C-alpha cells in the first residue's frame, strides 16, 4: 500500500469544509488545547523570542495522537 501525502490545511474555510466532510461520514476529531513552551524551562510563553516547543494532541475517532515540535527562532 502506497503512503498518502499528509493533508495540510492552511485556512479556516478549508478547515470548516474538511470538518463538515468528516462529520458527514460519521468521523470525529477533537483537538486538545495547544501549548507553546520554552525549550529549556517548559514554561508557557506568550511571545516567541527564543527556541520553543509546540505541543499538540488530537483525537481522531478513538485514537489519540500527541506530538511535539521544536521551533528555533
pLDDT in tens, 35-46: 899 999 999 998
| Any domain includes 45 | yes
* Contact present, 59 and 33 (Cβ < 8 Å): no
| Any domain includes 19 | no
| Any domain includes 44 | yes
- What tens digit of pLDDT does each residue of 46-71 get? 888 889 998 888 887 788 888 888 88
| Any domain includes 12 | no
Give me the number of domains the chain comprises: 1
Residue 33 sits in a domain whose CATH number is 3.30.1300.10
Q: How far apart are CA 59 and CA 24, in angstroms?
A: 17
* pTM, full prediction: 0.50
Assigned C-alpha cell, 73: 527562532
Amino acid at each position: 500500500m502506497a503512503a498518502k501525502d499528509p493533508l495540510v490545511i492552511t485556512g479556516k474555510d478549508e478547515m470548516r469544509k474538511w470538518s463538515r466532510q468528516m462529520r458527514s461520514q460519521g468521523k470525529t476529531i477533537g483537538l486538545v488545547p495547544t501549548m507553546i513552551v520554552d525549550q529549556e524551562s517548559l514554561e508557557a510563553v506568550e511571545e516567541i523570542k527564543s527556541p520553543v516547543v509546540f505541543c499538540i494532541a488530537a483525537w481522531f475517532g478513538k485514537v489519540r495522537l500527541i506530538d511535539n515540535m521544536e521551533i528555533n527562532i
